[in-house]
Amino acid sequence: MGNTNSSNKISAQDRAILDMKLQRDKLRQYALRIQTLTSRETEIARECLRQNQKPRALLALRRKKYQESLLAKTDQQLAQLEVLTSDVEFALVQKDVVFGLQRGTEVLREIHREMGGLERVEMILGESAE
C-alpha cells in the first residue's frame, strides 16, 4: 500500500529546476518589498515637503532612487533566471525526445531482424508468384 518503491525519484535535474524556481519566487518577493519601500519613500518625501523639510525630502528621494536601481537589478536577475530555467526544462524535453528516437530505432531494427531482411521478403514473394 505504501510507496516505498516509488519509481518517481527526484533527479538532480529536478532538484536544480526546483531550486531555480524557488530562487525566482524569492526574487519576486524581494521586488515587491522594494516596490513597497519605493512608494513609502515617495510618501515620506511628499510629507517632508509639506512640512518644509527639504533636506529630509531630498534624502528620501535619494533612497527612492537607490531602491529603484535595486529593483532594476532584481528584474534583470529575474529575467536571467527565467531564461535559464526555460533552457534547462527544454534540454530535458530534448533529452526525452532523443531517447524516444533511439528506442524507436532499436525497436525498428529488431522488427527488421525478426522479418529476416529484404532477402527473406523477396524469397516469400518469389514463392507466392510460383
pLDDT in tens, the chain (130 residues): 455 555 678 888 889 899 999 999 999 999 999 999 999 999 999 999 999 999 999 999 999 999 999 999 999 999 999 999 999 999 999 999 999 999 999 998 888 888 777 777 788 888 877 6
The answer as to whether 118 is a domain residue is yes
Structural domain tally of the chain?
A: 1
In which element (H, E) is residue 59 found? Answer: helix 54-115
The answer as to whether 2 is a domain residue is no
Say if CB 48 and CB 56 are below 8 A apart. Answer: yes
The answer as to whether 6 is a domain residue is no
The answer as to whether 3 is a domain residue is no
The answer as to whether 4 is a domain residue is no
**Which domain does 120 fall in, by range?**
13-129
Calculate the alpha carbon distances from 116 to 47, 78, 80, 85, 109 in Å.
Answer: 89, 57, 54, 47, 11
User: What does DSSP assign to residue 11?
Assistant: P
The answer as to whether 20 is a domain residue is yes
Distance between first and last Cα of the chain: 62
The answer as to whether 46 is a domain residue is yes
pTM of the model: 0.69
